[in-house]
Structure 1
Amino acid sequence: MMTDTCFHCGNDCDTTIIEFDQKKFCCNGCKTVYDILSSNELNSYYELQKAPGAKPEEAAGKYDYLDTPEIQEELLEFHDDSIEIVRLYIPHIHCSSCIWILENLHKLQPEISASQVDFPKKTVRITYNNTNFSLKEVVLLLNAIGYDPYISLNDYKKDKKSINRSIIYKLGIAGFAFGNVMFLSFPEYFEVSEYWLEKYKHMFRWLMFTFSLPVVFYCSQEYFISAYKGLRSKVLNIDVPIALGILVLFLRSTAEIIFDLGTGFFDSLTGLVFFLLLGKFFQQKSYAFLSFERDYKSYFPIAVTRIKTDETTNAKTEENIQVYDIKKGDRILIRNGELITVDSVLIEGNAQIDYSFVTGESETVTKKTGDKLFAGGRQLFGAIEIEATKSVKQSYLTQLWSNDVFKTNKEEAFTNLTNTISKYFTITILCIAALATIFWTFYDASKAIQVFTAVLIIACPCALALSSPFALGNMLRLFGQHKFYLKNASVIEQLANADTLIFDKTGTITSNQKSAITYEGVSLDEEEEMLLKNTLRASNHPLSRALYELLNDQHIKTLDDFQEHTGMGMEARYNKKSIKVGAAHFVDNAIPSNSLSTTVHISTDNEYKGRYVFQNRYRKGVKKLFQKLSGRYALGILSGDNEGEKTRLESWLPKGTTLLFNQKPEQKLAHIKSLQENDQKVIMIGDGLNDAGALAQSDIGIVVSENVNVFSPACDAILDASQFTKIHNFILASKQTLKIIKSSFILSFFYNIIGLYFAVSGQLSPVIAAILMPLSSISVLVYVTILTNWSGRKLMKSHERRKS
């Protein structure tokens, strides 16, 4: 008897059939969801996959608890006067249709401005206007369209939802099946011919078939899904031949036991999936070890300035601490342009907060004393003092770094090595399989299908798929040990492919902690020096920080007005007295400097006072670093300072190094863009302050971090300043990693050539397949792990020896 299926969810309608718009539904809920989607012109949802939806659950009263402010506080990632952001775990996310509908929520509800799906974690991050729309209404909307979120406050507090345990379950099932199938295969491996084997042979084979079912239909499903999506997008990714190999293994093995032609390849099938999952598991563990969101106590170069007040004298002192040392109740100084790294309350100062790092909206928000501030906002108006209401969640800063708001076309334009090779690998294997089948069709037709399937089985690129993530993940870990932190593993490949290095000068190749500073001009009175000190206190520029440390302690005041003009200088006002600090052309009546050093000019109340002269101290080893890089790379320095250092730099930098001075931030960006238009792969190395545009434009943006808060989502990597002279070693290690990956591919191809010989010649037996497939996977993994460890440590040790 034929049963009708629901157009929306695919379930059997049984006796209840609801017809609407010439379609059949199993309940009013599914019909309502269809009506909502079709009335909002979202019918494409059903074109992506047949019956992709889920039956909505009854929600009456279920989510009333979301009206409670205390519970909202736990669940919301961000909330302000008009914007709220929540990240919800949606168990039903399973296909491209789910991603499509969840990222088009704004079409169903105009109050929702953005929604982003994290498919591996099955979460959706929703930004909405809370003026006329609430968290409860967000959840009810998701429920109405069949994407009921799983909400557990305990899970949210512990962040358990981000841990994907499915890989553990799949690995356990595949390992159990692999062990049992191998055990059942032993008698036939050794061609045991006793009576008991003949009697139980068929039972053993069907047991192996049974063990393979969950391996194929549950453990392997991600490879089939990925292959399907790749083919639909007209891309031959690495999962296409893997999925094809698994499918052919299963179908041929099933056919062999049905027609009593042999024992099949169930051992190879379960072993293949087990080792693939094992590789994925180790990769996940490797990233978990490195992941800042799970191991935030590993050094992450973001520091903040904590303010301490002496209880007896009431004097304030400042100290730099790492963000993970922030405790509830700590008083923190946030300078102009700095990121707020912890949820807090505004204590003092004029706060103009840019939350675009969190929300994507560039409109600034004004806050007054006592208002709550959220981590991720950037202060745009002088310095403020805040009091932490929580200890820092480094995971949140990491989410911010990889937020989709800041994703440019860098990764889209970059095709990694594995996908490039896998495309040609897949085409080659299919051609070999086709040619071998044609040959055997004419030579011995009985072996044609056997040869075709054998080629696809033995050439399955499991080792090819595993070598790259293992090698890159291991090198990522080694880089982290040497205080070089990358946003993701693909940055290693891009580092290896770079041919141009551009450096900022101040704060990058120079150190703001070692500058010799002298003053030339009219002495400042106490009030002017206090105003200068507090103006410098609000800035995060390296020269401002160095000068701030030099001046005598002054009473800390809240400025009435402050503006920092990027690449030019600052102006501030307090009690009707004004000051300008910065470049000669910015400061009123400033006399242009003929000094060979960097200068900072000062005027108060439109009257020029004088200048501070900085004798730049270049980082130790910079000259040797440039000498190592010259010849291999095009080198350049982009500086916002004057040309005073040009002669000095030309005398000890390699010939051909591009030196550009008086560069505004937009000019730096334009220069990087012009290089890229000439097909150059550019690494930009800066301090993250005036270089944000250039860092974002470059192929790889590296921020050099001192003891200041230079965190910027524009960068791809953060390098501790103490490791600056290792840049050459890091690039060499990246190149070496790619060589190791390529050599592992050759090793994998070597195994494939041996296997293909047996397959094409019609001699592939289960024993050969069972030996070659796991051997190739295990040996490639051991190979890349040992070599990346050896090469990475060798390069770093050689640097230490030269340094000593």
Structure 2
Amino acid sequence: MKHKTCFHCGLDASKSGITFDDKPFCCNGCKTVYEIFSINDLSCYYDLQAAPGATPKEIEGKYDFLNNDAIAEKLFEFKDGDVRIITLYIPHIHCSSCIWILENLNKLLPNVSSSLVNFGEKTVRITYNGNKLSLKSLVDLLCRIGYEPYISLENYESGKKKIDRSIIYKLGLAGFAFGYVMFLSFPEYLQVEGIWLEKYKHVFRWLMFTFSVPVVFYAAQDYFISAYKGLRSKLLNIDVPIALGISVLFIRSTAEITLDIGTGFFDSLTGLVFFLLLGKYFQQKTYAFLSFERDYKSYFPIGITKISTNGEESSIQVYDIEKGDRLLIRNEELIPVDCILMTGRARIDYSFVTGESETVSKKSGDKLFAGGKQLNGVIEVEVLKSVEQSYLTQLWSNDVFKINKENAFTTLTNKISKHFTIAVLLIAAMATSFWLVYDASKALNVFTAVLIIACPCAIALSAPFTLGNLLRILGKKKFYLKNASVIEQLAKINTIIFDKTGTITANKSSKITYEGERLSKEEEELLKNTLRGSNHPLSRALYSMLDEHKIVTLNDYKEHLGKGIEATFNTHKIKVGSATFVGHDTLQASTNTAVHISTNNNYKGKFTFYNDYRKGLSKLFKTLKQDYDLAIISGDNDGEKDNLTKLLPTKTKLLFNQKPDDKLEYIKYHQSEGAKVLMVGDGLNDAGALAQSDVGIAISENVNVFSPACDAILDASKFNHLYNYIKASKSAIKIIKWSFVLSFFYNIIGLYFAVTGQLAPVIAAILMPLSSISIVVFTTIATNLLGRKLT
């Protein structure tokens, strides 16, 4: 009978007799999955890779426990109204087809709004309508299409993942076998003569074979699996030459002892696998260390206002929040913890969590989730549990908010690895052909040595280790980047645009004077409570200056970005903002930034701000001007134009009276002209501009108003070091390029000795992980030296 493979999973289907659409299947489960994909126009799943699926398992009744609400609650990452978010670990994720089908779950289940795969973690984060789709139904579908999740309540409750120790077991086995094979090889190495060797050499050889079998078929299996999957997808990954080298050594050695023509290369074979695994283990440990260090990035400077038992307000770091604390959440602020709404009117935007911008209203006593943004003035909440900043960092880095920006150096690494593998195979084939003619005894050693010595692992490690280490260093310098690719983008920028208020001005030290009609006690109280709900830099500065007043809950509150605030309390109405916004047409141009006040449609006066610019501003701009085009774009009037002209370098563009949309269009225009734009703003009015720019940096005054739109958060105290941080990103790219040069230099030297037959495979196996280690050491030392230059 002709051998047939299952169209879905690739297993033997010659005896099943199951066909559909002229395609063979090994079981009805695979046939059903194919039918599901076909009916829902998802059959292009099979175009990405041949037989990418897994045979679905019988799971009848297995997940009935998910119908228990108390159990399901522990698994949800977010639950509010009809929206549910859950992250599931799916062990079968292994290729591009898996990613594609799991990110298209909404075509199989219309009540799924989005699903995002983290390929490295083998997880999928699913957002769905919980009122129309149960968690059990969702999990059942995943099982039916061959992607059964691993669900363990113990893991979810402890927050720990199951530790994979398989590489330790494989490394231990390979090391044990390598030691014994070397010991058994000594008699022939030392050329011991006599009856003893003649009597026992075959026993020793077959013992070496016995020790090598589990090394090849268990310890080295990951290399074969990876190579097979790559070849099946018509891709040449870096494991192809390794698997080929191991196969050749094993087959040749087995043939030699079977035909009694030699002792084989079992010592080189077991040594090769041992040192390969040793290098892999080292890499994993280093990656884990970098990941641990990167977790400290989660402590970026989110400040929150805590209300004490006697009503006093104080700013604290978000990781100092404890269960039972009373917090003040202002307009446009993120809710950093799960909490209960105590006072105020909450209108929450959960787009930070769900990606959907539809707001939800909440009343006193309702539960609010971390990551929501308050959009209706000030509220007070009581904390249910302490903050998990890694969760806020995860939200900030969510793929929902990523713009399709180039990742040139990652692509460069992948291209080099791919072409390098092709080149290595060609060199190995040509060198082996030469030695078969010239000296056949060296051909096998040359072939295996070339395949091992020229592994491009070191090249592949250069970018992630350099960028990952610099990410950690910059975090310690209070410059917090969303991910490593931001460093690459920052190195490319040639135009820098700054907002004015709250960005280049220091609000805490601004002088404020009032001109106009005296405010009554009721009007001052209403003004104070209106400003209390705003996070605009001018509002915060003015709020701090005014006298203390009784805290009241406003009847209505609206903040119009770029214009001002309006609020009502009982019969009183107030407007705070620009002259036009409050209805005051002034013909006399103001020479300074001013906030105008009107109550009950009667103009009262204005608060004038005498700006105090950030320390080192003039020096920073003069340094930046040498390499970048600079511009300041502000929503304020041009009263500060003369001061800025004196303070800043010539030809610095100054634009005033710009609305948030004007800023966005200005950046878009420059990008259309080929500019790579860095936008530096306060994260509130500048959200659109930060999102449009190639890199958006939000300046933090220890407040909680950054948005997913920004790529980085810079602590205000480090503003004058911005040039050094941009320079460091360029230096990081140079380090990557130099590590590429070192890798090529190592490979050229190694290939010379391998091709000329002067390098044994076991020596090559030792040198290969050492080359990876040397690259990691080089990039770590270089980036640490770079970090020492930063202040």
Indicate whether 1:86 and 2:83 are aligned: no
Indicate whether 1:648 and 2:649 are aligned: no
Distance 1:430 1:678 in 2: 44
Distance 2:12 2:421 in 1: 39
Mapped contact 1:535–1:572 kept (Cα < 8 A): yes
Query: Which one of the candidate residues 194, 204, 208 is aligned to 2:208?
Result: 204
- For 1:491, give the aligned amino acid: V
Shift of 1:774: 3.5
Matches within 5 A, 1:136-155: 136-155=136-155
Mapped contact 1:343–1:390 kept (Cα < 8 A): yes
Shift of 1:751: 1.5
Query: Which one of the candidate residues 301, 318, 324 is aligned to 2:313?
Result: 318
Shift of 1:213: 3.2
Query: Which one of the candidate residues 158, 166, 170 is aligned to 2:167?
Result: 170
Indicate whether 1:341 and 2:336 are aligned: yes
Match of 1:246 in 2: 242
- For 1:253, give the aligned amino acid: L
Shift of 1:709: 0.4
What SS does structure 1 have at the residue aligned with 2:582? coil
Match of 1:213 in 2: 217
Matches within 5 A, 1:167-316: 168-174=165-171, 176-178=173-175, 180-181=177-178, 184-185=181-182, 191-195=189-193, 196=197, 199=202, 200-201=204-205, 203-204=207-208, 207-208=211-212, 210-218=214-222, 221=225, 225=229, 240=236, 242-260=238-256, 262-263=264-265, 265-266=268-269, 267-291=271-295, 299-310=299-310, 316=311
Distance 1:445 1:91 in 2: 45
Compared CA separation, residues 222 and 408, structure 1 to 2 (3 A): farther
Shift of 1:519: 0.9
Mapped contact 1:590–1:601 kept (Cα < 8 A): no
Indicate whether 1:722 and 2:720 are aligned: no
- For 1:184, give the aligned amino acid: V
Shift of 1:482: 1.5
Shift of 1:225: 4.8
What SS does structure 2 have at the residue aligned with 1:668? helix
Match of 2:259 in 1: none
Matches within 5 A, 1:702-713: 702-713=697-708
What SS does structure 1 have at the residue aligned with 2:507? coil
Distance 2:34 2:762 in 1: 53
Shift of 1:11: 5.9
What SS does structure 2 have at the residue aligned with 1:410? coil
Distance 1:786 1:528 in 2: 61
Indicate whether 1:636 and 2:631 are aligned: yes
Match of 1:313 in 2: none
Match of 2:730 in 1: 735
Distance 1:766 1:437 in 2: 14
Compared CA separation, residues 682 and 429, structure 1 to 2 (3 A): farther
Indicate whether 1:699 and 2:694 are aligned: yes
Q: CA RMSD in A?
A: 3.2
Which sections of structure 2, spanning at least 5 residues, go unmatched?
A: 257-261
Match of 2:777 in 1: 782
Distance 2:99 2:186 in 1: 47
* CA deviation vs aligned residue, 1:696-744 (integer Å, no higher than 9, x gap): 1222222221121023111122222222222222222222222222222
* CA deviation vs aligned residue, 1:528-571 (integer Å, no higher than 9, x gap): 11111111111111111111111111111222222111111111
- For 2:246, give the aligned amino acid: F
Match of 1:50 in 2: 51
Shift of 1:29: 4.7
Compared CA separation, residues 99 and 743, structure 1 to 2 (3 A): closer
Mapped contact 1:515–1:546 kept (Cα < 8 A): yes
Mapped contact 1:283–1:473 kept (Cα < 8 A): no
Which sections of structure 1, spanning at least 5 residues, go unmatched?
A: 233-239, 311-315, 800-804
Mapped contact 1:170–1:218 kept (Cα < 8 A): no
Match of 1:235 in 2: none
Shift of 1:526: 1.0
When the two structures are superposed, what TM-score results if normalisation uses the length of structure 2? 0.89
Matches within 5 A, 1:19-58: 29-47=29-47, 48-50=49-51, 52-58=53-59
For structure 1, which segment, 755-764 or 217-226, has the greater mean C-alpha deviation from structure 2 after superposition? 217-226
For structure 1, which segment, 130-139 or 611-620, has the greater mean C-alpha deviation from structure 2 after superposition? 130-139
What SS does structure 1 have at the residue aligned with 2:684? coil
Shift of 1:515: 0.9
Distance 1:600 1:303 in 2: 25
What SS does structure 2 have at the residue aligned with 1:501? strand
Mapped contact 1:56–1:147 kept (Cα < 8 A): no
Distance 1:428 1:658 in 2: 51
Distance 2:614 2:232 in 1: 52
Compared CA separation, residues 420 and 105, structure 1 to 2 (3 A): closer
Match of 1:100 in 2: 100
Query: Which one of the candidate residues 583, 598, 604 is aligned to 2:599?
Result: 604
* CA deviation vs aligned residue, 1:747-801 (integer Å, no higher than 9, x gap): 22221111121233344433552453233223222222222222211x12xx4xx
Distance 1:34 1:171 in 2: 38
What SS does structure 1 have at the residue aligned with 2:764? helix
Mapped contact 2:371–2:392 kept (Cα < 8 A): yes
Shift of 1:426: 4.8
- For 1:394, give the aligned amino acid: Q
- For 1:779, give the aligned amino acid: S
Give the total of aligned pairs: 775
Mapped contact 1:593–1:599 kept (Cα < 8 A): no
